[in-house]
Amino acid sequence: MSDSSGNVLAATARGVHFLTAREYIEAIAQELSGVRGRGLLLSPADAQLALSWHAREVPLAAVIAQVRKAARLRARSTARGAAEMMLSLQALAPALDRLGARRRSAPREPEGLCAQLRAAARCPGLAARAAWESLADRAEQLLAEDGGDGYWTVAVRALKAALRELPRSAALEAGSALRSRIAPRPQGMTRRSYQRSLQLMLLSASSERLGLPPRAFLL
């Protein structure tokens, strides 16, 4: 594999979020130079197109795929005796512009555990919302300490606060769901471990029956 091809593959693997505009354009130029057998410079029009795709987060892999598809079509046309056409990014614009539009309209997933849990805590009508938001903010720290036990302790505390805000029937339903899952403490399991397993079962059962906690908090 040539150095040029290796650079394109490495840039493609990194993704548009981690590429500078220059790296993005250079990777496209390398691919075009392999097809054209010419230097790495893009025409001003092609460079402007590439810049617009980078700004709209069109994946580099999608651009490379379109360049290679156009190259194959050009090769087949030339083999059939047609005049050789100049491969330009202008011809790829319609397909890649549509891809950029779809990516802009698609909602972006929250990044990081804190952001994901914060998003989950915004669900309508969530009881004890402040407790769940507090857990979201501390989640990564709690999971990094003492094997993550602190996270589940705070989650159970938040669940209890939520159940206190709901009608008593909700707490009874959560308790009923937990009892349906309880099994005797296995021989050799410590009381502490057994208690933790019951807490995890309570969180899971309550999430299924009541939506508390939101499923994201079960990790």
Q: Per-residue pLDDT tens for 11-60?
A: 544 454 557 888 888 888 888 777 655 555 677 778 888 888 888 888 88
For the cut 80, the answer to whether the pLDDT of residue 197 exceeds it is: yes
pLDDT band at 83 (very low <50, low <70, confident <90, very high): very low
Task: Indicate if 117 and 101 belong to the same structural domain.
Answer: no
Task: Indicate if 20 and 93 belong to the same structural domain.
Answer: yes
Task: Indicate if 128 and 146 belong to the same structural domain.
Answer: yes
Higher pLDDT, 163 or 18: 163
For the cut 60, the answer to whether the pLDDT of residue 143 exceeds it is: yes
Task: Indicate if 203 and 181 belong to the same structural domain.
Answer: yes
Q: What is the pTM of this model?
A: 0.50
For the cut 60, the answer to whether the pLDDT of residue 108 exceeds it is: no
Torsion 164-165-168-172 (CA) sign: negative
Task: Indicate if 209 and 117 belong to the same structural domain.
Answer: yes
Q: Distance from first CA to last CA of the chain, Å, rounded? A: 42
Q: What is the pLDDT of residue 164?
A: 92
Torsion 211-212-216-218 (CA) sign: negative
**Which three-class secondary structure state does DSSP give residue 160?**
helix
Q: What is the pLDDT of residue 146?
A: 78
Separation of alpha carbons 120 and 218, rounded Å: 11
Last residue of a domain, one of 71, 105, 139: 105
Residue-number span of the structural domain to which 152 is assigned: 112-218
| Segment 115-125, tens digit of pLDDT | 999 999 999 99
Task: Indicate if 80 and 126 belong to the same structural domain.
Answer: no
Task: Indicate if 68 and 135 belong to the same structural domain.
Answer: no
Q: What is the pLDDT of residue 13?
A: 47
Structural domains in the chain (count): 2
Task: Indicate if 70 and 27 belong to the same structural domain.
Answer: yes
Q: How many helical (H) and strand (E) elements, i.e. helices and strands, does the chain have?
A: 10, 0
Task: Indicate if 96 and 173 belong to the same structural domain.
Answer: no
Task: Indicate if 126 and 214 belong to the same structural domain.
Answer: yes
Last residue of a domain, one of 105, 129, 160: 105
pLDDT (average), residues 143-169: 90
Higher pLDDT, 147 or 156: 156
